[in-house]
Structure 1
């Protein structure tokens, strides 16, 4: 099992500094006497586990860019965005890159630090984004419990998704004790808004704490308190390695392999040779390019079966 990726350890950084994203749906909404399909998009902070949910009117690059602008306006510009290779994500990344290249050199130098780094997982590898795929499962369960299969208006769908966002951000990150004397567990809301539940009223300061410096100091102490609990009670739980204890050799260039394709019968799975490998930060190969005839496929190691070498 690999070490935790850097995106999971952006400690003392703003929430959503490293963000994973994906789309889900469609859902049917009522518009007058007709119905339309709407999709949802989820942004998940890979460090604090906080989520941001929005609605997409279409699965195209324009709708994604509009959702990205709303996200950055509310949660700040992320350092990196990680997703699958959806056409809307790829198209949005291309448009942003082309717009940046068209700017004057002075503006490029000024905005260089604010560029978002897009990272795409290999095809047929949903486990690369398991962090937010599991959150989509929780979201769909909540949607099924609230609206079921009925068609609702756009306002109802948007309101339910925002309320589900609050529920997901209120989930405890660690162990919850039944003893009332024990400390409350850290939740994503603790790091987003300074309190574990968004429904609680804001803190009321006494008259002696109205000096701005003292209030700023109080907020800083509170933020440090939450981060200390995050590091002490939640982060150690991510370090356990329960699987893949054995050490196996990495796949090499030139190895004959079979590509696993669940949409085809096993007898028709393509066979080719590894033309390029992509080691991770720990030096282990987890993605490779396989050349089958004149085509080249990028696949994760979990979708590749190594075959005995074929003599030519």
Structure 2
């Protein structure tokens, strides 16, 4: 670290608010887990399994592109840094509300993990789309940016990514739509359905 002149900046004690982005994620995660724990009676083993599923969801989110090649949209995730490989969370089945009261506790935890995913996505994605009108200039989406596509019914742990191939301005001169190339297809999306990744939006 010394050879690379790495400079460390630490938060002062008792000032978690200075953590900004990651502290907001911690707060959202804690709030959702508290709500889920109130709904269900969880043993220690069930709670540890739910925490492990939650950890995998959080650490599999894309944070920055790894390649400038337009044909290579996958992005760097915290799991890649921690495990040196991707750890994609693929749900092993479809779980319904009735599973929350199942005698098979594994199905119960999978249902709670799906519920966590749906609630966390609704809180996390808007933090990537902050647009404060007329207050300060913010970075617009540009051609070749890797973006997260906001889809309504995405399975747990799936982060649909695409690369912007064309930007389309509205009559007011601001970007309103983008043509996006995903792994399987090309589509046009409104700017409200696209999110820059964490490292790009900073």
TM-score interval, smaller chain: 0.3 to 0.5
Q: Which has the larger radius of gyration?
A: 1
TM-score for both structures, normalised by structure 2: 0.33
Q: Select the structure that is richer in strand.
A: 1
